[in-house]
Amino acid sequence: MNETEALRVSALKPSRETMRELIEALRDGSGARGLVAIRGAHISGVSYYSIGAAGAEFLEDLAASGVRVRMRTTVNPGCADVHANPYGIDGGTIRNQRRIVESFRAIGAETTLSCTPYEGHRPSPGEHIAWAESSAVIYANSMLGARTNRESGISALAAAVTGKGPNYGMHVRGNRAPDVRVEVEVGDIDEAMAGALGYLLGTRFGSAIPFVSGVRFREMYKMKGLLAAASTAGPMPLIHVDGITAEIEWARRRAPEKAGHRIGMDEIEETREQLSCDSSEPDSILLGCPHLSIEEMKLITGMIGDGKFDKPVFIFTSREIGGLAKELGYVDVLERAGAAIVVDSCIMWSGLRALGLKRPATNSAKACFYLRNTMGLRPRLCNICECLRS
């Protein structure tokens, strides 16, 4: 749910009947083959910066009407940690973000406030879900073999309330077959270059579904970055990567026989440079877009050792993963080095505005896109080691 969508739905009567009518309108408008039972939902449009006063009021009215979700429902990050505010974020922003979180809790949603719902519970292959976070949608379709379209915040909410969704797009197996075959001539690359590759795929192929061969890395955090960048650059819902993704055997039999497209290292490097718009000394380091997993927290902790940061470092993860990292001792190491662990929010965090940071280093191609185009910053895209040394 973005601000325009929030203003539109605020004119609707917040009720279960309205949610049902929305699902039926989506079914009719999409030409869907009826409805399909939805087993899980993930809702975007949680940040007060995104939905504003109109969206917050709609959610409060919906909760007051007695509407409740019918399945496990998780929610995206907000614009601030509603439990703590050590960075001078405007008090009104905190209060409004808290209103939104409390409304989701009242309707029965799990207030995970994370863009990686698959870290807590992974849907099964073939399971129909309604997820609205673009990076989670492409991850679920590609890596897990679950079935979800790229929902809006309001359509994911309607699916969570009704337990139904229109049966079209990625819910239909035949629509998941690859449209193009792409040979990548790079082998193993770091996560910054993997993100650049993903961004290039999304830019070049849009909503088409590629079958990609030639990728040699197996680290899941690199795949997560590649997929997130692809879905940022275009409306790509699914990528089949030979030897890695969930439906690869089925997809290989349906892919075009010959590669119609080839991507080499020069093109990927050029894309990385386009995303990395500032070569001057970074004034901060931002890691965790999408939110860091516990494996990534362990990796970063091992890289730091007994070192100290000489600039602000912000690490974004879910409250659940942050708690586990605390139990395992990773948070203590990170905080001793000077890093701040930010939960419940993401790189669109209001703390960055309050602190006035301008030139962050990040290993996320997706973060670079939003930091530059939405927040007006000048990010540098580099791998984790380079970020920590910058």
Measured from the Cβ of residue 221, the count of other Cβ atoms closer than 10 Å reads: 18
Integer angstrom CA distances of residue 18 from 8, 52, 152: 13, 21, 16
Alpha carbon distance 388, 311 (integer Å):
10
Which CATH number applies to 276-389? 3.30.499.10
- Does 276-389 match 3-173 at the fold level? yes
The mean pLDDT of 155-178, rounded to a whole number, is 97
Mean pLDDT estimate for the chain: 93
Alpha carbon distance 312, 52 (integer Å):
29
9: confidence class by pLDDT, cuts 50, 70, 90:
low
6: confidence class by pLDDT, cuts 50, 70, 90:
very low
pLDDT at 4 over 60: no
Calculate the CA 160 to chain-centre distance. 19
Give the pair of three-digit tokens for residue 325: 């990292």
What is the pLDDT, as a whole number, of residue 10?
A: 47
Give the pair of three-digit tokens for residue 41: 């939902």
The mean pLDDT of 325-337, rounded to a whole number, is 97
Alpha carbon distance 23, 14 (integer Å):
14
What are the residue ranges spanned by the domains of the chain? 3-173, 177-274, 276-389
What is the pLDDT, as a whole number, of residue 278?
A: 67
Q: Which residue has the tokens 């099964």?
A: 124
Integer angstrom CA distances of residue 388 from 82, 168, 282, 313, 358: 28, 44, 11, 9, 17
What is the pLDDT, as a whole number, of residue 173?
A: 96
Integer angstrom CA distances of residue 140 from 145, 227, 329: 6, 10, 30
What is the pLDDT, as a whole number, of residue 103?
A: 98
Alpha carbon distance 180, 158 (integer Å):
33
Write the pLDDT tens digit of every residue in 278-320. Answer: 668 899 999 999 999 999 999 999 999 888 999 999 999 999 9
What is the pLDDT, as a whole number, of residue 84?
A: 83
Write the pLDDT tens digit of every residue in 39-84. Answer: 999 999 999 999 999 999 999 999 999 999 999 999 999 999 988 8
What is the pLDDT, as a whole number, of residue 125?
A: 97
User: Strand (E) positions, 253-330?
Assistant: 261-264, 284-287, 313-317
Q: Topology of domain 3-173, per CATH?
A: Aconitase; domain 3 (3.30.499)
Q: Which residue has the tokens 């399945």?
A: 71
What is the pLDDT, as a whole number, of residue 97?
A: 96
pLDDT at 155 over 90: yes
pLDDT at 21 over 60: yes
AA identity, residue 297: M
Asked if 128 contacts 37 with a C-beta cutoff of 8 angstroms, the reply is: yes
191: confidence class by pLDDT, cuts 50, 70, 90:
very high
pLDDT at 2 over 60: no
